[in-house]
Amino acid sequence: MAGDAITLKRIKLLHPALRDEVGELYKEIGLRLTGRASCRFTHTLRTFKEQDEIYAIGRTKPGRIVTNAKGGRSWHNYGMAIDIVLLVGGGVSWDITKDYDGDGKSDWIEVVQVFKEYGWEWGGDWKFRDAPHFQKTLGLSINEMHKRYLAKKVDKAGYVLL
């Protein structure tokens, strides 16, 4: 599959139940973005420790709050969430309104549409807006995922059994 090498590496970190689908989803994003912008997955799987470090920002570390989820309470901790950014002309963009390919649709929203077509939830639809974030829960709650994790209902690679 052609595409951003960093993104392709991060797809391999996703929960095994989602990897193939996300590979197809990423190909579709590439077909939709026909101009100078491309999509990079900035985060997929994140450890509980990494999540706790992000949670501390704006609380016990300087900066503004960027998450309400502690370790074990984020879909990233289970490889079932993706954060994105657009790559444009050697830089990055989190501008959800720009139409870099001139087709009359915001490139960011074109990416959102692909994720939604595959049944992913978009953080941009939430009260606490998180426009770079997408998650697919497969009908499970974060509490159920955490409970399974604590009960060691995981595969040999450490992914929670669905």
Per-residue pLDDT of the chain (162 residues; tens, 9 = 90+): 568 999 999 999 999 999 999 999 999 999 999 999 999 999 999 999 999 999 999 999 999 998 999 999 999 999 999 999 999 999 999 999 999 999 999 999 999 999 999 999 999 999 989 999 999 999 999 999 999 999 999 999 999 999
CA distance 123 to 133: 5
Spatial contact of 136 and 119, defined as CB atoms under 8 Å apart: yes
Contact yes or no for 94/131 (Cβ under 8 A): yes
Nearest C-alpha neighbor of 30 from the set 101, 90, 89, 82: 101
Give me the domain span that covers residue 82: 5-150
What beta strand segments (E) does the chain contain?
37-43, 81-88, 91-93, 121-122, 133-135
Range 122-127, long-range pairs (CB < 8 A, 24+ positions): 124/96
CATH number at residue 56: 3.30.1380.10
For residue 161, the 8-state DSSP code is P
pLDDT of residue 55: 97
Asked whether 30 and 96 are in contact (CB, 8 A), the reply is: no
The answer to whether position 160 is within a domain reads no
pLDDT at 156: 97
Q: What proportion of the chain, given as a percentage, has pLDDT over 90?
A: 93
**Does residue 10 lie in a domain region?**
yes
pLDDT of residue 128: 86
Q: 102 is written with which tokens?
A: 């001139």
Residue 62 lies in a domain: yes
The predicted pLDDT at position 12 comes to 98
Q: What mean pLDDT is reported for the chain?
A: 96
Is position 12 within any domain? Answer: yes
Query: Is 73 inside a domain boundary?
Result: yes
**Tally of structural domains, the chain:** 1
- Residue 25 within a domain: yes
Residue 113 lies in a domain: yes
Query: Is residue 158 situated within a structural domain?
Result: no
